[in-house]
Structure 1
């Protein structure tokens, strides 16, 4: 499984890495914003994308819009501190498969992966 972790905080990216089940990812790529994420996706580095919403250059909402416009074949799980119902509704309408509240835990990661059928 090719995993892409997108967050402007290197600490948040490390927490996502730690929360992944052992052996889940065969390849892990990291990006600090949505523009880098789209480049990585176009390079074939993302089957599953863990996406933050609040980032410089290109935020998570714009990234989801771009992926939706391209009819991208990737599973996107949003991991964000913005837990407002409107934000959750918006990301789902843009194609996100799941929404997980920050800080992510291994239990929350496992539940999200189970809910979207990846484990």
Structure 2
């Protein structure tokens, strides 16, 4: 089963996502509270997939996505974005995101995105 790095500044969002992933049999390689920590953990853990929020302190998800893709062009990053941020979709795709999921999402949305990546 794939390993997943969860990057989100909301502890509630991280906990819900981690619980859902573990119940479905995925290995949660790690959790990060912002894009900077997410990038550092990606380099260290090299997970199969990353779920990345956009709006975070220190370094946002799109900046982190850019660094991750420069480090590993084959990285699979799923961008999670709050409703109303759809204009970020084109930027995320241009930076190499493999999927874009709008919050609030249903579990099947995340699971389908992971499988497509």
TM-score interval for Structure 1 and Structure 2 normalised by the shorter chain: 0.7 to 0.9
Per-residue displacement from partner, 1:16-67 (whole Å, max 9, x unpaired)? 2233261122x43100001111111111242210000000001001101112
Give the aligned length: 115
CA RMSD of aligned residues (A): 1.8
- Unaligned ranges ≥5, structure 1: none
In proportion to residue count, which structure has more helix? 2
Deviations 1:58-82 (A, max 9, x none): 1001101112222343210011105
CA distance in 1, matches of 2:84, 2:35: 19
**More deviation in 29-38 or 39-48?**
39-48
TM-score (norm 1): 0.84
Q: TM-score, normalised by structure 2?
A: 0.85
Q: How does 1:94-113 map to 2 (within 5 A)?
A: 94-113=95-114
The question of whether the paired residues in 2 share the 8 Å contact of 1:53 and 1:78 is answered with yes
- Aligned to 1:43, the other structure's residue is in SS state helix
